[in-house]
Structure 1
Amino acid sequence: MNENITVRRVGANEASGYIETLADVLIDCVEGGASVSFMLPISRATAVEFWTRVAHGVARNERILLVAEDAKGNVVGTVQIVVDQPENQPHRADVAKMLVVRRARRQGIAQRLMAAADDAARAAGKSVLVLDTVTGGDAERLYERAGWQRVGVVPNYALMPDGTPCATTFFHKQLA
């Protein structure tokens, strides 16, 4: 595990300052084949537009944004907790867009981001977390190791960035 990585919550007043950097992270991940709702070729404008919406959600307390930064302050990973849920689900949150740049993978960064997401969700009063991921991918194994429970698989649920259909596995985690 890389000890030179800091994981922290991005405050509502600073989220907009991360848009360009997070756009770089998203582009790197999509260009690396990550199925995270975007298709190739992904434009910078598309990535910036997405992170602008996220920053607005953070400012409205609808989302929690976490980043992993290296010793030089470069963002190498991120994850979100969507806390704005329907009235009958105030105890639940969605974990979304767990991204680690390709050059920083296999260093324990995703594991640290997920642990921080659990802590942030608990602090926000959430006791049930849900997420989905590409079936058979590295992230699926990460979530299982982090105590997430597999709910099921939906074949052909989404597309990989190159347009190939992929199955999606849904997970949940009950926080203590």
Structure 2
Amino acid sequence: MTEIVHVSAPELVTYADEMAELLVETVEEGSSVGFLAPLDRETAAVWWRARAAAVESGEVAIWIAREGCRVAGTIALVRAPLPNARHRAEVAKLMVRPSARGQGLGRALLAAVEAYAEVEGITLLILDTESGSLAEQVYCKAGWTEVGSVPGYAADPAGSLKPTTFYYKELTGP
């Protein structure tokens, strides 16, 4: 059974090694999530632990999908920092283990973020993903609207520049 859990800063530190394993697997299989290959587990774990301060301050919220004792997926919500943008946030780092894909975990993680955002009074979510990736299907099925694509926006794990597609979703609020 899969459980979606909103993690606190101390829990993030506790799960950092498992989340590092997920991040390394995601990069190894070619997903563009901000890191270049090869990515070692310690570097990935340090990156996750460094997010704890932002979680503690409320700038970032993170969820994990747990299958038993194993982290099978993760997603983050990054609040906009400026006063005129408090109504919006960015969805980031949606990752599902390659072995757990196709079971609805990505959609469940996305739904958890959307529900949380509505309760928090966030009315606009944005995200970006590599153009042509399988993630685009998840976002389209979840009702996200494509804004457009920017060529050469980010490098894939192999270092090749790829286009990125931007999406948004309007929420109704609490």
Q: Same fold (TM over 0.5)?
A: yes
What does residue range 1-176 of structure 1 map to in structure 2 within 5 Å?
A: 4-70=1-67, 72-176=68-172
The alpha carbon displacement at 1:12 in A equals: 3.1
State the alpha-carbon separation in 1 of the partners of residues 80 and 163 from structure 2: 26
Q: CA RMSD in A?
A: 1.1
1:131-164 deviation digits (Å, cap 9, x = unpaired): 0000011101110110110011001111110122
What SS does the corresponding residue of 1:6 show, helix, strand or coil? strand
Report the TM-score when normalising by structure 1. 0.94
Counterpart AA for 1:46:
T
State the alpha-carbon separation in 2 of the partners of residues 108 and 162 from structure 1: 27
Q: How many residues align?
A: 172
State the alpha-carbon separation in 2 of the partners of residues 54 and 87 from structure 1: 22
State the alpha-carbon separation in 2 of the partners of residues 13 and 48 from structure 1: 14
1:102-128 deviation digits (Å, cap 9, x = unpaired): 110111100100011101111222110
Counterpart AA for 2:29:
G
- Which ranges in structure 2 are unaligned for 5 or more consecutive residues? none
State the alpha-carbon separation in 1 of the partners of residues 134 and 140 from structure 2: 10
1:73-128 deviation digits (Å, cap 9, x = unpaired): 21100000012421110110000000001110111100100011101111222110
Alpha-carbon contact 1:85-1:92 (below 8 Å) kept: no
The alpha carbon displacement at 1:45 in A equals: 2.7
Over the matched positions of the two proteins, sequence identity in percent amounts to 38
- Which ranges in structure 1 are unaligned for 5 or more consecutive residues? none
User: More deviation in 55-64 or 93-102?
Assistant: 55-64
Alpha-carbon contact 1:19-1:55 (below 8 Å) kept: no
Alpha-carbon contact 1:12-1:55 (below 8 Å) kept: yes
State the alpha-carbon separation in 2 of the partners of residues 132 and 59 from structure 1: 25
**Cα 1:19–1:84 shift into 2, 3 Å:** farther
The alpha carbon displacement at 1:166 in A equals: 0.8
